[in-house]
Structure 1
Amino acid sequence: MASTSALPSSSASSLVGPSSIPAPSPSSNTPPSTTSPPQKKKLIGWQHSAAGSLGGMAGAIVTSPFDVVKTRLQSDLFRHSAQPLKDAATAVPARTGIRGTLWQFVDTVYLIRRIGVEEGWKALYKGLGPSLVGIIPARAINFYFYPTSKAYLAKQFPNAPTEKAGQTSEDSPLIHLSAAVIAGIMTSTGTNPIWVVKTRLQLSARKRTPSAVAASIPAASSPLPKTIASSAAALARSATASSATTATTSAAAAASLAPPAGARAPVSALTMTMDIIRKEGFVGLYRGLSASYLGVSEGVIQWVLYERFKRIGATSTSSLEQQPLLSYIGSIVGASGGAKAVASLITYPHEVIRTRLRQPAINGVVKYNGLLQTLRLVVKEEGVANLYGGLTAHMFRVVPNAACMFLIYELVAAKLTAAA
């Protein structure tokens, strides 16, 4: 009877044959965690910060010249310097509609060349020091608070609405939006003084002597078009041979672009910081903060669109280990670049307003004092179109910057996850 009672437990193995007899043994000795799909490990806060900082620094270095040009095109201090040299009899074409958009490309390229000739090519990297110093806390704060806020909010609101069945609360667009708002506010508050210093450095043009300009643009090897190069060389020669009256006039014309009267042109970020504190107080380091808060909407749109685009562009497996490298890179670059392009186009006017608010006082007079006052003044004096001044240079900078930053972030995060 004992043998018959053991039949039910051994009948399955006798029916399937001897080839499958060893199968029960491994399954009984193997922990359940190795037979079920492994759960994806999550990074902790500092790892998100480290990955985001590396990505932000790489993007800032690559796109620094466009950042300088964008800042100057946004400012009314350099509006006249972005106009290509023309004959007096030549009428300047209207810069509206499609023609105005095309002229922005011309202005961007022209201003890059003009800065290189008149101030030296190193001027295209003005403000890079504060940018790199600012990128570390800015990206660290942003990439720390976004994922951690998303995880926290998902736990607090487990029933947050999702787009598809089977998704968790962390996939909810409302969770993404709320986490992006928190990250944006924290980032803007913590890093505003750094961006004020960077903007002032980028607006502090110090032209080289006319002889140096003339020497840098020989007719045969000038980086400028022939007509512009010859005109610039003629201007340089005439300036060199000019009288004291002409020199005085030139100095007066340059005074509008120089730092405030009576102050020595800053040569470093520390000098600029101390100059701002001495003349405007610590409050001066927070100029444009209201516009920065307005710009939080850009970060919100960018993060929400990035999550969505990344989900659309990903294949059935979205991790680096389970997907071909080129496909993974393409999905991240497309999602991040596309999200940044859309967000920037929608919210760009706040960039112009923020730059104007951070401009230095001219002859002791602060022209732009508040968010609404700046908006009304720009529209009244320059028109709505100038709320998009420097848009082309901005797009040249932020789209590859975002693609580079998020790609490095995702790659570093994947490696840190695998090593955890």
Structure 2
Amino acid sequence: MQSSLYIRDIVTPVASLSHKPAPIRMLLQPLQSLYLNIASVGTALSTIRRQEGILALWKGLGPNLVGVVPARAIYFSAYNHGKQLYTSLNKGKETSIVHVASAATAGIATALCTNPIWLVKTRMQLQSEQKVRLGEGGVYYKNSLHCAQQVLKTEGIRGLYKGLSASFLGLSESTLQFVLYEHFKRSVLEHRNDQARLSASSRDTVSTDSKSLDWMDTFGVAAGAKLVAAAATYPHEVLRTRLRQDAGTNSRYKGLAQSAVLIYREEGLPGLYGGMTAHMLRVVPNACILFGTVEFILAFA
């Protein structure tokens, strides 16, 4: 749904509002685009299952499993070490600036190390459409390894790093996510400790401040941080997919700014938010599980 290969049904219904007065169009277009974005998720899942079988919903799982372990290991390692370094440079004070610098450092390191894996994943997930386009110069990939070999052979090392500029732009999402997570976490902890102190004082007992959240609070904090960050920075996801989707020199998407302008001209603002509902259904639960697991491990480390 992020790629240009997906036949969108958003433009036509929205265009049908053209006869409405301008104030009504301004109100209805975003609402209609949102509704169609949500409804099209079910349509896409049904179409994939019907045309390609249920297993097609797991395309690209191989490189995803290969990539997620080093990506998370690199990110959290770089983030925690970066936070220690920047806190020491900031005279021992852990502030939002420290969190921003730590998240940005971790994001850059992760993107540089894992971009080729995500490029292969994107190509494999779009395999069905590429196969149809063989007569137009498309490339058919037998598996993930064959895909990587073909990209190296036809596009060189630079081909494996297509979409890297959009990944760097996406650092704003992970940075905002971690800043919000740390802020929400601190606020919830302060609230919980204040309640505990009030409860303890009413019983004439001594209260000990908690340093970690329970799993429900962690899930809520992680979900809120990811939802806000992903919604605020989503267009970079579409730009990254467009830059990675095509092989060879015939790609219509050749750079970050050029791609953004092209998508906006041809598809309007909804084009930059294609697939956002499906994306949220994936990344928000993912963030809850990820941060819940990290907090659980750190509590016993």
User: By the TM > 0.5 criterion, same fold?
Assistant: yes
Match of 2:283 among 370, 393, 398: 398
Distance 1:147 1:381, change over 3 A: same
**Residue 274 (structure 2) aligns with:** 389
Distance change in 2, residues 1:334/1:259 (3 Å): farther
Counterpart in 2 of 1:78? 6
Distance 1:149 1:260, change over 3 A: farther
Q: Equivalent of 1:261, from 115, 122, 137?
A: 137
Paired with 1:259 and 1:370, the residues of 2 have a C-alpha distance of 25
SS at match of 2:251: coil
**Residue 259 of structure 1, CA deviation:** 9.0
Q: Is 1:298 aligned to 2:226, yes or no?
A: no
Q: Which amino acid letter does the alignment assign opposite residue 172 of structure 2?
A: S
Identical aligned residues as a percent = 41
The 3-state SS of whatever aligns with 1:153 is helix
**Rg bigger for which structure?**
1
Contact persistence 1:141–1:186 (CA under 8 A): yes
CA distance in structure 2 between the partners assigned to 1:353 and 1:118 by the alignment: 27
Matched, 1:103 2:36: yes
Per-residue CA deviation, residues 56-95 of structure 1 (Å, 9 max, x unaligned), is: xxxxxxxxxxxxxxxxx11011124xx49xxxxxx95327
- For residue 64 of structure 1, what is the aligned residue in structure 2? none
Higher RCO (C-alpha 8 Å, min separation 6): 1
| Counterpart pick for 1:132 among 44, 65, 75 | 65
Deviation readout 1:104-127 (Å, 9 max, x if unpaired): 111001101111111111111111
Letter in 1 for 2:100: L
Contact kept, 8 Å, 1:260 with 1:360, in 2: the verdict is no
Change (3 A) 1:341 1:139: same
Q: 3-state DSSP class of the match of 1:282?
A: helix
Q: CA deviation at 1:365?
A: 1.1
Mapping of 1:120-269 within 5 angstroms?
A: 120-158=53-91, 169-170=93-94, 172-205=95-128, 255-256=132-133, 261=137, 263=139, 265-269=140-144
| TM-superposed deviation, 1:345 | 0.8
Matches of 2:82 and 2:112 in 1, distance apart?
Answer: 17
Instruction: Please tell me the residue identity of whatever aligns with 1:331.
Output: D
Greater share of helix residues, 1 or 2?
2
| TM-score of the two chains, using structure 2 as the length reference | 0.84
What residue number does 2:157 align with?
282
Other-structure match for 1:351: 237
Q: Is the 8 A contact 2:163 2:240 kept in 1?
A: yes
User: Does the aligned pair in 2 maintain the 1:259–1:360 contact within 8 Å?
Assistant: no
* 1:93 pairs with 2:17: no
Aligned residue for 1:189, secondary structure, equals helix
TM-fit CA distance, 1:400: 0.6
- The CA RMSD over aligned residues, in Å, is 2.2
d(CA) in 1 for partners of 2:167, 2:187: 30
Unmatched segments (≥5 aa) in structure 2: 16-28, 194-208
Map Cα deviations across residues 16-64 of structure 1 (whole Å, 9 max, x no partner).
xxxxxxxxxxxxxxxxxxxxxxxxxxxxxxxxxxxxxxxxxxxxxxxxx
Distance 1:195 1:410 in 2: 26
Residues 5 and 129, structure 2, Cα contact 8 Å, conserved in 1: no
Residues 288 and 357 in structure 1, CA contact (< 8 A), matched pair in contact too: yes
Structure 1 length-normalised TM: 0.61
Structure 1 gap ranges (5+) = 1-72, 85-90, 159-167, 208-253, 321-326
